[in-house]
Chain A
């Protein structure tokens, strides 16, 4: 015991809720590295996975990451996000694997009704193919329990069978911080280090850590149409329909995914501080405001997850 400690009171630095969340996420990332043979971190270029990368730096630097990064590319991207993805991976000096839904379509494992159909759900097929191709036994993702109610019951280490399926009725019990990542060949676990974070926590952390993001997360002017209460961005893939009026509004994206199903919100928040303030006042959840795919039924996320979706 050090003399200093024996004689004086120990004054510990305060631990904010962000410190707590950060420490938990680092612990989880290190458990993946300690327990799994061949993990991968899913990096889409979105804000949640950008947070994961910062957490991985804190967990493993000055060493390299004990896993490559992987993006499942739907082919329907915002170009700013792909540019950010490539730049960020290069800055970190970590290996980036890209597998695309386009290739799954060519192989015939994904069949879409039309070229402009959302490829969001099809990502699951490509993801499972990539997990099989590389033999990954763990895939780390940035999903959060507050996003959607099927996620509220998901484990931090979530077991997937050889078909990549999530069975909510036979999840492994998760007690204390004793995570069980054991799998047989062909099975894997999905690991969610920021499960316990809310959208507000994520933005507060981005602010505290000055984490770089694709510019479309901040307010910018963009042509949109109003459809079913959402602002739908006008792109070559998502042209206006007959009778719709194109408006140019100041918007920002709260989530970023496949172009064909991700919508921005009206906003003039151009800085993290302004976004934090807006998030505190937000009257719609992240997915409710921005995702067409989640509005189809009360259980659409749960169904996609059962089929191997994130």
Chain B
């Protein structure tokens, strides 16, 4: 199935959901941009605007500050900063959008990694007057590390440079040159002004020389990860086994993480590697002939074999790798540093096993993602490469090839906290 290059979706108006992560520092106008997207797409309602006016007045800001819309928690409002990833929603007739708003301050690596892990696209802001700053480089690198395929850079504050085409083009060229080796599937740089509303939802009156799409038009046209994952090999992690009555055959419940599955297909089950065929298939409760990445399904197989939660049903032509040890990149998330030689629970798809961090082989510079020697303690927001020994085998792909079976988290057994995000090399 994976060899089939051509997978089509029936053409419809509603393309489903696109998730994107936004990043940038406060000064770049990220909150204003999100406020503008919500405001111009009418996702903001009167009482929210009224609360905004009250807050703007209380803080001595003259006009309504759209950036205050994205303020969340009490502690954050008191400090005038954002601590955690916040999720926002808006929709157009073509698509529903989920924004993961990752703050640019403290914890930026952890927050950006969290937001990027489920994102189809990254929207990064640069202040067109400051050009390509270090934070933007870091965000681009992190988005790429986490496997985000599409990146859009919004060159903001064009109103402050007189909407100058020459200034925009200089910034664009610099950013494009930096991003070229990262090989994003889509990489666009757009000029605009979040504050004035140019090129966000509306084109505005000042950028007549720019003939590309607006930010919203671009977001409406991108392929989502689930749409793209349909052309990857089948990976179906079993969440539950259902057997309502002793007399009925078992069916396996879970979500197809990549590829396509159809009635009659030959599949292979790991661990064990036994082969069988798909006898019946239901998507979200209704019988179907074919299902694809992103669908929650119930699958019945031709042979009665022993399958449990955590097992992986795959395309036999492109099977995952059985791994008793992993070479992986970790983004450390916990306040307590990594314990070299320490034991952690490894959660991979729907399976958990124990792992031991054998060695920290290198550290990646968060500014350049270049490799450097692994010296010192590994603390929150550090990115390292490790060798991980596993108590029981996992069936993995390289993260670059299949996100769902290349990703894992580490859990501290004593605190139950999620301490690291891992990506299989």
Give me the interface of A with B, judged by CB distance under 8 Å. Answer: 1-2, 4-6, 9-17, 19-24, 26-27, 30-31, 33-34, 57-64, 145-146, 149-150, 152-153, 159, 168-169, 171-178, 180, 182-184, 195-196, 198, 200-201, 282-285, 288-289, 298-299, 302-303
Contacts and interface: CB of A to CB of B under 8 A. Distances in A.
B416 A176 contact: no
A162 B83 CA distance: 24
Contacts of A201: 96
Given A20-B96, A284-B45, 17 more contacts: A12-B7, A12-B260, A17-B91, A21-B17, A23-B294, A57-B285, A58-B285, A62-B248, A153-B72, A175-B407, A182-B411, A184-B416, A195-B87, A284-B47, A288-B46, A298-B55, A299-B77
B347 A171 contact: no
Contacts of B403: 176
Contact of B11 (A14, A17, A178, A200): A14
Interface in B70-129: 71-75, 77, 83-89, 91, 95-96, 98, 110, 113-114, 117-118
A61 B51 CA distance: 44
Nearest to B267: A1
A267 to B, nearest CB: 16
A40 B70 CA distance: 32
A175 B72 CA distance: 20
Contact of B347 (A5, A180, A200, A283): A180
Given A1-B317, A27-B255, A12 B10 contact: yes
Contacts of A288: 45-48
Nearest to B408: A178
A22 B333 CA distance: 30
A150 B73 contact: yes
A296 B325 CA distance: 55
A14 B91 contact: no
Contact of A175 (B95, B113, B263): B113
Contacts of B16: 14-17, 19-20
B8 A149 contact: no
Contacts of A19: 16, 284
Contact of A59 (B294, B296, B348): B296
A281 to B, nearest CB: 9
Contacts of A182: 345, 411, 416
Most chain A beta-carbon contacts within 10 A, residue among B4, B8, B75, B292? B4
Contact of A58 (B242, B244, B284, B409): B284
Interface in B252-291: 253-255, 260, 262-266, 284-285, 288, 290
B79 to A, nearest CB: 12
Nearest to B230: A12
Nearest to A179: B347
Given A58-B285, A176-B407, A288-B45, A15 B89 contact: no
Contacts of B404: 176-177
B85 to A, nearest CB: 7
17 contacts: A9-B4, A15-B9, A22-B296, A30-B253, A31-B350, A33-B239, A150-B74, A153-B72, A153-B84, A172-B418, A173-B110, A176-B403, A178-B407, A284-B46, A285-B45, A288-B45, A299-B73
B73 A5 contact: no
